[in-house]
């Protein structure tokens, strides 16, 4: 069974969806570690409550990205992690992790890339007036949301739908399709 680490910086709703998919057997993987740059975030609470090991860090305590990524890499290697899954991790992954996990770091983005990359994909797409929203699951490379696309899932916006309602629909897609896509990637599909 493949071993994964999840990186998260926020509420951990996608982390929880991954935990639930593992518990139900939909995702056959060992969740070895949660990595977070926000020690007091909800994702960390969820991990602790579920007995998942946690590595947290404060970037300011390190001598730059390379330094904290080496600390993360040490934790990943110690647990023989096969694949890294980003689930609301709000830092750009750097060369240390990319070189050791080439094509083995997966990200979830709340827009249909290549449109609306970056931290505010939903809001940017909504302000632009798009009629089709969705999510993109992709490999991570050196750019911001520029890696090879693994899969995308979409829906048409309803007339008068608020950005908050769109965001809820995006999260529903994420929770449904991210664990299933991770499973496919881990199994070489």
Q: Is 109 known to be catalytic?
A: yes
Other C-beta atoms closer than 10 Å to the C-beta of 117 total 16
CB-CB neighbours of 169 under 10 Å: 17
User: Element (H or E) spanning 73, and its range?
Assistant: helix 65-78
Distance CA 167, CA 126 (A): 10
Which DSSP letter does residue 158 get? P
Q: How far apart are CA 151 and CA 54, in angstroms?
A: 28
Block residue for tokens 């490379």: 141
Catalytic residue among 100, 102, 109, 183: 109
Work out the end-to-end distance of the chain between its first and last CA atoms, rounded to an integer number of angstroms.
Answer: 15
How far is 41 from 161, CA to CA, in rounded Å?
29
- Active-site residues, by number, are 109
């Amino acid at each position: 069974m493949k071993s994964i680490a999840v990186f998260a910086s926020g509420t951990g709703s996608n982390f929880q969806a991954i935990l639930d998919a593992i518990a139900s057997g939909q995702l056959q993987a060992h969740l070895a570690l949660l990595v977070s740059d926000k020690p007091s975030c909800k994702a960390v609470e969820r991990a602790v409550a579920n007995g998942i090991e946690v590595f947290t860090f404060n970037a300011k305590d390190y001598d730059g990205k390379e330094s904290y990524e080496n600390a993360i890499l040490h934790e990943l290697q110690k647990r023989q992690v096969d694949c890294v899954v980003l689930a609301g991790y709000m830092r750009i992954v750097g060369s240390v992790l990319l070189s050791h996990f080439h094509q083995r770091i997966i990200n979830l983005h709340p827009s249909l890339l290549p449109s609306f990359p970056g931290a505010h994909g939903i809001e940017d797409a909504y302000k632009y007036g798009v009629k089709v929203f969705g999510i993109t699951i992709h490999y991570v490379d050196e750019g911001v949301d520029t890696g090879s696309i693994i899969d995308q899932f979409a829906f048409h916006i309803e007339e008068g739908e608020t950005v908050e309602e769109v965001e809820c629909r995006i999260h529903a897609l994420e929770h449904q399709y991210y664990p299933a896509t991770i499973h496919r990637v881990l199994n070489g599909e």
